[in-house]
Amino acid sequence: MEHRFGGIWTQRKLDLLRKYLAFYTRALAGRGFTLHYADAFAGTGTQNLRVDPAQGDFLPEEDFHGSVRVALEIDPPFDAYHFNETDSQRIQALENLRQDHPGCDIRVTQLDANAFVPGFCESLGRNDRAVMLLDPYSTELDWNTPGIIGASRKVDLWFLFPISALLRMTPRHGSRIREEWSSAISRLLGNDGWKEALYRPVEQAPMGDLFGDAADAELERLNVRELELWVTTRLREIFSYVADPVTLYNLNRPLFLFYFAVANPSEKAWQLAARVVGDITRAQAKVRNR
Ligand SMILES: C[S@@+](CC[C@H](N)C(=O)[O-])C[C@H]1O[C@@H](n2cnc3c(N)ncnc32)[C@H](O)[C@@H]1O
């Protein structure tokens, strides 16, 4: 089944995921844990990339696997694969993956990701450990959902935060905020306090105060870097460890912040994961900068 999305940045995302999963199952094999891979926005297992003509030359010629196939090909394998999707045709494609991977315990659910995640986290027992991918198209994810993963203490999370959608919905000038977007922003960011957090008064020229118009000061949104720091700081309140995000760009515009976060409170565990993810992201950046 054709599933058309993404671009060059999709390959960067899957490359980081693949390398981390390969480390994870090797590091935890034979240690008495049951290892789970959970993909809350699973897609179909394949991608038909939407490539901008300006980028076409850079794409390697190969069959592009989506995240669920990347996970299924990891060796040693996970003990169970949890694929969740809302689209019925994509659910069928996920069910069909069992034929190609008869030895794998593949569990397919058709739920909103914000409902799938709490159920999955609740199902984890003492000896269960998991890696989860949250890969929405845009603003489908509620802020509470990563919070539930953070509280699980058992899940390592790869999470795409839709920075481009947030930038689109929060115009630079506060006077242009559109009321119809407010509830989507509040859901994405977890509360209604975002206007105070993301906007500040434009600095007035000293003369402005003299004429008493400081109270009507125009509001201006934080810049992209400040927004990123704000999101990162809030994630760090709910996870034991959060790496600085990898920004995924399309034609020089930031599309997603790709976060890695660890819910496990054991310092030894998150420090090891942090070191590995640091190595993987630095190696990828080096290749890209060549
Ligand atoms: C970006 S694609 C996922 C791509 C996939 N991770 C891959 O690498 O092949 C997002 C998927 O999420 C599904 N989706 C959209 N809204 C959803 C929701 N609220 N809950 C779960 N899945 C959803 C879409 O049908 C789509 O297949």
Segment 94-109 shows an average pLDDT of 96
CB proximity list for 244: less than 8 A, separation 6 or greater:
232
Distance from C-alpha of 198 to C-alpha of 200, rounded to nearest angstrom: 7
Omega before 265 within 30 of 0, i.e. cis? no
Q: Confidence band (pLDDT; 50, 70, 90) for 266?
A: very high
Cβ of 137 below 6 Å from ligand 1: yes
What pLDDT does 217 receive? 65
Ligand 1: residue whose CA is nearest its atom 27: 43
Comparing 14 with 7, which gets the higher pLDDT? Answer: 14
Residue pair 5/50 in contact (Cβ under 8 Å)? The answer is: yes
Q: Is the alpha carbon torsion for 262, 266, 268, 271 positive or negative?
A: positive
What pLDDT does 63 receive? 52
Q: Kindly report, residue by residue over 45-83, the tens digit of the pLDDT.
A: 887 665 555 555 555 544 578 999 999 999 999 999 999
What pLDDT does 151 receive? 98
Domains in the chain, CATH or no CATH each: 4-170+225-289 (3.40.50.150)
Cβ of 140 below 6 Å from ligand 1: yes
Distance from C-alpha of 16 to C-alpha of 263, rounded to nearest angstrom: 19
In ligand 1, the atom with minimum distance to the C-alpha of 14 is 8
Ligand 1: residue whose CA is nearest its atom 19: 112
In ligand 1, the atom with minimum distance to the C-alpha of 160 is 1
Q: Confidence band (pLDDT; 50, 70, 90) for 206?
A: low
Pocket test for ligand 1, best of 137, 142, 161, 255 (most atoms within 8 A of CB): 137
Task: Look at residue 20 and give its three-state secondary structure.
Answer: helix
Lowest mean pLDDT among 46-50, 137-141, 178-182: 46-50
Q: Measured in angstroms, how far is the CA atom of residue 39 from the centroid of ligand 1?
A: 9
What pLDDT does 136 receive? 96
* Rounded percentage of the chain residues whose pLDDT exceeds 70: 87
Structure token pair of residue 123? 């199902």
Q: Closest by alpha carbon to 169, among 196, 188, 191, 147?
A: 188
Using DSSP bridges, classify how beta strands 48-49 and 34-39 pair: parallel, antiparallel or unpaired: unpaired
* Rounded percentage of the chain residues whose pLDDT exceeds 90: 75
In ligand 1, the atom with minimum distance to the C-alpha of 10 is 8
Cβ of 228 below 6 Å from ligand 1: no
Q: What's the per-residue H, E or C state across 228-278?
A: HHHHHHHHHCCCCEECCCEEEEECCEEEEEEEEEECCCCHHHHHHHHHHHH
